[in-house]
Amino acid sequence: MPHEGSASLRVAMIGHAFMGAAHSQAWRTAPRFFDLPLQPELAVVCGRDPERAAAAAERLGWAESATDWRAVVARDDIDLVDICTPGDSHAEIAVAALAAGKHVLCEKPLANTLPEAETMAAAAQAAYAGGARAMVGFTYRRVPAIALARQLVAEGRVGTVRHVRAQYLQDWIADPQAPYSWRLDKSKAGSGALGDIGAHVIDLTQHILGDTITEVVGAMDTFVPERPLPGGQGAGLLGGAAANGAGTAEMGRVTVDDATAFLARFGSGAMGVFEATRFATGRKNAIRIEVNGSAGSLAFDFEDMNVLEFYDAAEPAETAGFRRILATEPGHPYVGAWWPPGHGLGYEHGFTHQVVDLVRAIADGDQPRPSFADGAQVQAVLHAVEHSAAHATWQRVALAQPVG
């Protein structure tokens, strides 16, 4: 529960689809399980369609709805703006909110392009002196097993890190007849599997290691170049109606990658192998990370998200092997506020932990992490992978305008 007499933190959420539902649940739940110094207040949810926005407010627990995000950002009774829209609007909303003195939580990836991300990071840096705080939503950092992995690396339990293997595997568009969506439009999404899910494993590996990727070489592919438009929509048509094998339907051009793979070098010299795909048939949300060091190894798979595997290379060969750590003990990160040991947490808990960390940072005047600068650094990796794939060469990862 919040501290007795704690002040309110009045939140406006822009966007109310998949991520909006996850964020709403987190804002509602966090103060009921964690001792928070500020009381989140779900003040207003904003969407383009008035009827859908009003229905979302009723369903998700917001006090009111609106359709003009600019008017919402300008309101004196709003303290924090939570951005859950497609990537093409992140920069405009975030910069406006920070200029208005609001705290900002922005979904990942931070932006659609590196220049946009750099602009957002610079705006966050400028707003910091006035008390505004900004954070990007890489929620998988808040999975207890991942937080434990970071602790073990920091404590030297795996020694010098040599190898990192990271995969994000999904299959939701493996069927060529899966309908077109905004996530397949580069102008709205920025990139496909690379930015949507690859960004997560880029952030996670850097977070676990406390290190950054400095150089990449990659390849990208689009296996299904056009898809049927839902409801016969005309946007993105390829010359009007087209045959798709199941009759005649209007088709939309896929302008993003379906799959990306790349090699990476970290600042420490560790080697990384990364893969992000929406075509791994049978894999629904497999986030797989393995870290191999001079003294041991760690392995994680989100499809068994309460478990971290740990190998101690100092053990005798006759009994050595990966052991399964069930990260549900009260001493594991975040877990003490929840259920007894063995009662696992789920996908939604990462969003709740994100709210907890953000609210506490705001109350303490600290910089929440991952910051917009962290988000811009991930965007620089995405940019380098795309450039590498286009030119078939190693590419250095660098911000054009480094931010503090």
Band of residue 11 on the pLDDT scale cut at 50, 70, 90: very high
Band of residue 243 on the pLDDT scale cut at 50, 70, 90: very low
7-14 β-sheet, strand order: 64-66, 38-46, 7-14, 80-83, 103-107, 134-137
Q: Which tens digits make up the pLDDT trace of 190-206?
A: 999 999 999 999 999 99
Residues of the chain with CATH 3.30.360.10: 144-304+306-344
pLDDT, average across residues 65-92? 98
The number of angstroms, rounded, from the C-alpha of 331 to the middle of its chain's C-alpha atoms is 25
How far apart (Å, rounded) are the C-alpha atoms in residues 396 and 398? 6
Q: Report pLDDT for 13.
A: 98
Structure-block tokens of residue 153: 């690396």
Band of residue 237 on the pLDDT scale cut at 50, 70, 90: very low
Close Cβ partners of 49 (under 8 Å, ≥ 6 residues apart): 67
Band of residue 245 on the pLDDT scale cut at 50, 70, 90: very low
Task: Tell me how far CA of residue 324 lies from CA of 89, 182, 310, 312, in angstroms.
Answer: 42, 39, 7, 12
- Kindly tell me if the per-residue pLDDT of 57 is higher than 80: yes
Structure-block tokens of residue 184: 């397949």
DSSP label at residue 195: I
Q: Report pLDDT for 186.
A: 96
How far apart (Å, rounded) are the C-alpha atoms in residues 51 and 57? 10
Among 6-10, 61-65, 296-300, name the one with the lowest average pLDDT.
6-10
Q: Closest by alpha carbon to 278, among 168, 125, 389?
A: 168
Q: Which residues pair with 135 in a beta bridge?
A: 105
Q: Report pLDDT for 3.
A: 54
Amino acid found at 177 = Q
Structure-block tokens of residue 269: 């010299």
In the chain, the largest separation of any two C-alpha atoms, in whole Å, equals: 67
- Kindly tell me if the per-residue pLDDT of 380 is higher than 50: yes
| CATH 3.30.930.10 corresponds to the domain 144-304+306-344 | no
Q: Closest by alpha carbon to 297, among 178, 157, 170?
A: 157
Q: Closest by alpha carbon to 394, among 217, 213, 214, 212?
A: 217
**Span between the terminal Cα atoms of the chain, in Å:** 34
Q: Report pLDDT for 399.
A: 83
* Pairing assessment for the beta strands 307-312 and 323-326 based on DSSP bridges: antiparallel
- Kindly tell me if the per-residue pLDDT of 46 is higher than 90: yes
Q: φ and ψ at 348, to 5 degrees?
A: -70, -20
- Kindly tell me if the per-residue pLDDT of 154 is higher than 80: yes
pLDDT, average across residues 320-324? 97
226-228 β-sheet, strand order: 226-228, 248-253, 237-243
Q: Report pLDDT for 1.
A: 44
DSSP label at residue 295: S
Amino acid found at 256 = V
For 346-385, letters b (16+ CB in 10 Å) and e give: eeebbbbbbbbbbbbbbbeeebbebbbbbbbbbbbbbbbb
- Please check whether residue 388 is in contact with residue 261, taking contact to mean a CB–CB distance below 8 angstroms: no
Band of residue 4 on the pLDDT scale cut at 50, 70, 90: low
Q: Closest by alpha carbon to 214, among 262, 144, 258, 247?
A: 262
Query: Which three-class secondary structure state does DSSP give residue 161?
Result: strand
Size of the chain, expressed as the number of residues it contains? 404
- Kindly tell me if the per-residue pLDDT of 297 is higher than 50: yes
Q: Which residues pair with 83 in a beta bridge?
A: 14, 106
Q: Report pLDDT for 235.
A: 43
How far apart (Å, rounded) are the C-alpha atoms in residues 285 and 116? 28
- Kindly tell me if the per-residue pLDDT of 232 is higher than 90: no
pLDDT over 70 for what percent of the chain?
A: 93
Band of residue 2 on the pLDDT scale cut at 50, 70, 90: very low
Q: Which tens digits make up the pLDDT trace of 267-294?
A: 999 999 999 999 999 999 999 999 999 9
Structure-block tokens of residue 392: 């078939």
Q: Report pLDDT for 231.
A: 77
* CATH fold group of domain 7-140: Rossmann fold (3.40.50)
As a whole number, the mean pLDDT across the chain is 94
Q: Report pLDDT for 308.
A: 98
How far apart (Å, rounded) are the C-alpha atoms in residues 214 and 234? 42
Close Cβ partners of 188 (under 8 Å, ≥ 6 residues apart): 86, 87, 88, 112, 182
Band of residue 153 on the pLDDT scale cut at 50, 70, 90: very high
- Kindly tell me if the per-residue pLDDT of 240 is higher than 50: no
How far apart (Å, rounded) are the C-alpha atoms in residues 276 and 147? 22
Q: Which tens digits make up the pLDDT trace of 87-122?
A: 999 999 999 999 999 999 999 999 999 999 999 999
How far apart (Å, rounded) are the C-alpha atoms in residues 316 and 8? 55
Residues of the chain with CATH 3.40.50.720: 7-140
